[in-house]
């Protein structure tokens, strides 16, 4: 049986009620409440859970806020992850929206309200509504942090991990922009006229290999607000990793964390052979930020609308299928881990499929 005692101040005035449960096989449970009714209810529920074998020690989850958990996750986990710096903005958003709640109080309803509020929020960075993809990444981070708390740090959550019961925001349809008609010729012609001499070979390599922009070019993140330093996001392609005789480009670090070796077409090899060699070992003597601006201007001059540099990866992936490669072969080249993700980057033309039918 639980023991319920009143708590008095120095003047003998009752200021609260303490419930204490001593039961063999369980740690001592002590909690103080404002009213006797609350203390009695807690003791009844806790003893019932002990009898049914479903009791969960709540002390640490009640004393730990989500902000504190995410701070620990930031200190101990993010430094071990490739691209962990990208999670900092997501942690900040979660701490602003849910950080004051204890882990024990956090539930699926709160998280669903957070999801809906974020989807209706204007981003300070872009001036547009926060995207469904951004919110999905935030909920994914929250789930990973809660899972770490329960599995590695011994913080039991009374109701389990609440994020698993929350519906993910619906993502927009995958982009299906491909080069049409003579757009490739027009684009490359304007790339050749660009002041950025690296633009045309970078575009050709993207079309021929399906490599991500960061796998081709060095790129940087947002500058730190205190130091002004922009962290390096990707190193870009290095000559040390290119073998023109074997016609391969090795990528030791990729977005999904796995290394892969990309085969080079005859056109890709010819493009690389024509490039000058630099002392720093980089294949391209520019950054993605520099290429991006030059690419936008080249598209405008060529009269091409709605095309992004990342769309070239879609184009290249689709062409690999049109050449007759099977999904496993294409995934080995592009680095996609699942066929579902590969499908999002693949847009086959009906006329090309008709040719295969004979």
Active site residue 73: no
Active site residue 300: no
Of the candidates 58, 212, 233, 319, the residue annotated as catalytic is 212
User: What gap in Å lies between CA 209 and CA 274, rounded to an integer?
Assistant: 17
Of the candidates 310, 323, 337, 349, the residue annotated as catalytic is 310
Of the candidates 118, 233, 319, 336, the residue annotated as catalytic is 336
Active site residue 310: yes
Dig out the tokens for 322 from the structure: 């049109």
User: What gap in Å lies between CA 98 and CA 67, rounded to an integer?
Assistant: 8
Active site residue 345: yes
Active site residue 313: yes
Buried b (16+ CB within 10 A) or exposed e, 153-192: eebbbbeebbbeebeebeeeeeeeebbeeebbebbbebbe
Mention every residue, 6+ apart, whose C-beta is less than 8 A from residue 263: 247, 248, 333
Buried b (16+ CB within 10 A) or exposed e, 316-353: bbbbbbeeeeeeeebbebbbbeeeeebebbbbeeeeee
Alpha-carbon 54 to chain mean position: 35
User: What gap in Å lies between CA 313 and CA 178, rounded to an integer?
Assistant: 10
Of the candidates 115, 233, 313, 319, the residue annotated as catalytic is 313
User: What gap in Å lies between CA 157 and CA 57, rounded to an integer?
Assistant: 8
Of the candidates 175, 178, 255, 297, the residue annotated as catalytic is 255
Active site residue 336: yes
Active site members: 212, 255, 310, 313, 336, 345
């Amino acid at each position: 049986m639980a023991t319920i005692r009143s708590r008095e101040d120095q003047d003998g005035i009752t200021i609260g009620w303490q419930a204490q449960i001593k039961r063999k096989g369980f740690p001592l449970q002590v909690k103080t409440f404002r009213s006797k009714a609350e203390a009695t209810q807690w003791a009844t529920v806790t003893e019932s859970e002990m009898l049914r074998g479903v009791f969960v020690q709540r002390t640490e989850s009640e004393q730990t806020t989500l902000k504190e958990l995410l701070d620990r996750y930031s200190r101990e986990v993010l430094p071990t992850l490739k691209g962990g710096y990208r999670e900092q903005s997501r942690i900040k958003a979660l701490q602003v929206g849910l950080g004051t709640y204890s882990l024990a109080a956090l539930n699926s309803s709160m998280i669903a309200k957070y999801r809906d509020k974020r989807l209706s929020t204007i981003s300070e960075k872009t001036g547009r509504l926060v995207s469904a993809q951004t919110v999905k990444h935030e909920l994914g981070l929250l789930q990973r942090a809660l899972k770490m708390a329960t599995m590695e740090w011994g913080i039991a959550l009374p109701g389990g991990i609440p994020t698993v019961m929350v519906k993910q925001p619906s993502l927009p349809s995958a982009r299906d922009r491909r080069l049409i008609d003579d757009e490739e010729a027009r684009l490359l012609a304007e790339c050749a006229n660009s002041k950025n001499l690296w633009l045309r070979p970078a575009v050709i390599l993207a079309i021929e290999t399906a490599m991500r922009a960061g796998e081709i070019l060095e790129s940087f993140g947002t500058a730190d607000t205190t130091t002004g330093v922009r962290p390096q996001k990707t190193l870009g392609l290095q000559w040390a990793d290119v073998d023109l005789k074997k016609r391969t480009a090795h990528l030791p670090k990729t977005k999904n964390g796995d290394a892969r070796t990309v085969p080079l077409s005859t056109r890709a090899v010819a493009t690389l052979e024509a490039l000058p060699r630099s002392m720093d070992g980089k294949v391209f003597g520019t950054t993605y930020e520099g290429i991006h601006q030059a690419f936008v201007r080249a598209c405008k001059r060529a009269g091409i609308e709605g095309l992004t540099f990342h769309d070239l990866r879609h184009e290249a992936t689709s062409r690999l299928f049109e050449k007759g490669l099977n999904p496993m072969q294409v995934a080995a080249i592009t680095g996609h881990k699942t066929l579902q993700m590969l499908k999002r980057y693949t847009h086959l033309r009906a006329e090309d499929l008709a040719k295969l039918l004979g």
